[in-house]
Structure 1
């Protein structure tokens, strides 16, 4: 059998599983990495879970049915087009509308979150829609559906005017979604695999008499299909180069400057380094190749990138690769503007092609909150590191010899302020519940308070803010205003008497419920404020009772240090500030390690999310003296660091402002020395970790 005949035979076998046309199947098989299975399964748990949840939601929405209802498209899915890291679906218009209703997250007071919490969508070119979850390397692409999808969302909004629609753009998770996600009972891995595989092999049920996946998913035996011998992968050829992604939670961290100068340092050492600029507006080019920006954003450049992704032929983008530096030893540093709005599968194809041409491929990813590209980069790269501006505060603190009393007062005031703000909102909510119940007595919102206390565990917000976010206090205050709809001109003595009685009733309820409120928040308060809670929480009640017992005009004025004519103070009563001795107290190795761990999680790059591929954290914009101090710390304190830090000085700022590589133009400055050491550590750690064998 000729090679052409074998390819057609494999493509025809694939259509039995996916429902693709023969031409679609041939294209997908041609673009596959050699050795991959005929119909690959999802290789990552996040991708498999998203596919499982989408199929489950659609199956529950449509219910038991005959595929003939949708012209032999099970659940209205005409075809699936799976790769190892991505899945494309072709749906009927009716199924697209039903899918939007089933998966788009919405929130109401009555039902909570419906749909898939955290799901976001964005429009791609060629009438496509991308479904993804921020911070996760998972994506479904719906083909030929953009217009129907937008119409379906408009209909949902019109039919549910009271629902609070979760933003479908790149916004991070909403608080109500995180709460719903915590309550989500993740299915067993075997069940997730069955759901994901069923969606990828949906074509097996085109001629079924009736199906109901909501009642029972197909078993693995059901999913084998007519060509089980073609479902097993063979040994794949590994790319030659190593891919390393630099990701960060936000912009302004020094990420691009670090990446480009690390690349230049490795090029000076003879390495072939390629940087792929994944930022939407190609900020790297703006600084280091401004004369090529227009070309990089042209239609011709986009078409060349599309050809590379489709064919794997690197010559397609030869004219788009920009050389920034070439060394005498044969090394070179080049940059390629990345694709805009790429899918995970497209980025995977780009990396395979790029790694075959370079020793090291560096990915300059956009901020993690700016779209899925950064998550894809972190997921697909052989190794990952992050840049974070770090200051002295994580290594120690300045203390004064006479500050203990002041610190205790400040700690007490912070606790009381936390309680005051939360209790004010608690009372407002109690009044709203009274209005809704059409009663005379306030109703304690204890269930909402419990939810707010649970939320603090993962947001670290003040309790008052949690109550506001969970209750929608803007709506609360509108309701309170509606209840108080009489204008000043319309007030009668009867109105005034009724308002005075209501105010007295609220004030009495406020004081009577302080102690129960304090008991309910005690566990969280103690975890947040430690010993301050034990010594000062009861004083909050006594403090507020004291304020109520003292007439307002008898409270003494606050003395700011300026003498007044009637402040009642004698000369001897004025106490001057004592001399303050400042002392830097370093933290222990364990405390520093904990701080670095916290910073990493806040940066959005938790090591456990990328497994053994995490290389470390690079402190940026750090003083040279602190760099030296970090070098002297034990490894137990700095094990998460890839570098002691990249100091910022005048030489660095001057080079960056002129679009120069400071590691080349200012090789002896402290930042260049630090970059050279970082480049060496990065490349050595990548090789030691065996990233090339991934």
Structure 2
């Protein structure tokens, strides 16, 4: 039955898009959508601009004469991108339209940024978001179109169309472009004044456009331990089941779990593995008496990549889970499958126990002396020298030979070379001697001779009295906000390290798990918004090691509030 359903969906997708059979079948198997809609406003608007540019270029035309509607042989709709394959005879013309559509100023200069890609497609990123993919054989046409537009800066803007000025019109334009092959057999196509109606763009099989019902998935992930992943996942499962939802608690971590909601529970230790559970999940799911939800443990030791994400997606779309559960909560702590879970779930929550402290208004700075200025310049040049180290094995061998030759000619200096990289620093000073003398004049020699001795004496920890004086000053509001954002970004990066951070609804939500003053929390939310980070409105209490009845009650209340907040973010 599943194969027959995939074949029907593949035929319907090919009818609407004209895609090659293998590509259409692969997309249907992966997403279970015949035609997914654009997942972001940027993607939708970029596709609307593309269609407007094509309409301005081709006007009213016969698809048969152009090799397809607007000379498009086929399109490949995805949630986050759109593949555009032009007819061979019209490739340069179509690509030139794409470059005009991406131009920020509406003229010939392209606003599409070409990303370095591998595989079958060339990726063009729009200036305001969105991605277009071109087949590799469109490369020559892309180069030629760019050269033509660069040589003609006075090219006229894209012709305006009536429907491009409204959000509803742009959304419909994106839908029409993703189903463009429905108009391949029309005698004439003319979208200058109006776009097709709903009945026309629904196609002959509108019933196949409905996404199959499947459980909504919440993943609780973290790339580091100690943030309360398992506790939060178990609390969410229990809270959702208390709201009347049929919940499956999917544990991908190995070993025993502890925390609120998990204590004094006999969790099944059997771990059949992700591959086995994805094939027959109904054999391994076990109910949890007293908690109201079901449980299954499955892990993939030593792996957490695309293959595991694919197996996890197959498990979540299995008919046995579709019939039995409305929600799945994935406990993906660091010993489990955090990356696979984050790339598969509808909503990703990342607990954030170690909240960043707000920076103080008073800061201590070092006002450099003349000698300290030279030392600071030397230190910056040395860091640049280190970062631009040998790029290849041959360069490294040549660099080592040069170090040995320098040591033979200049001799060893025990006091200076006690540092691990003392000889390399002496070679660096020898190379920069001419530039230093030209820049600093008489101050260069004393600073050069004292730099390595200064590092040896201070062990790289700071400046001595000759370098500068410590001055305390008050930060301005702008400087304080910049310092706060930097601290938030560093703390969040520690939590989200090595997790796929996708765009749109799949971007992880940070869940604070410690109490903060209201003013501090408001400042933190503002800084998170400025960094593009999402922060849940619910703050989980930090229980520590001792969990008393009152603390347990507070934690369960917070888990219920977070469950309601997470459920509101899930796709309906």
| TM-score, length basis structure 1 | 0.39
Q: TM-score, normalised by structure 2?
A: 0.46
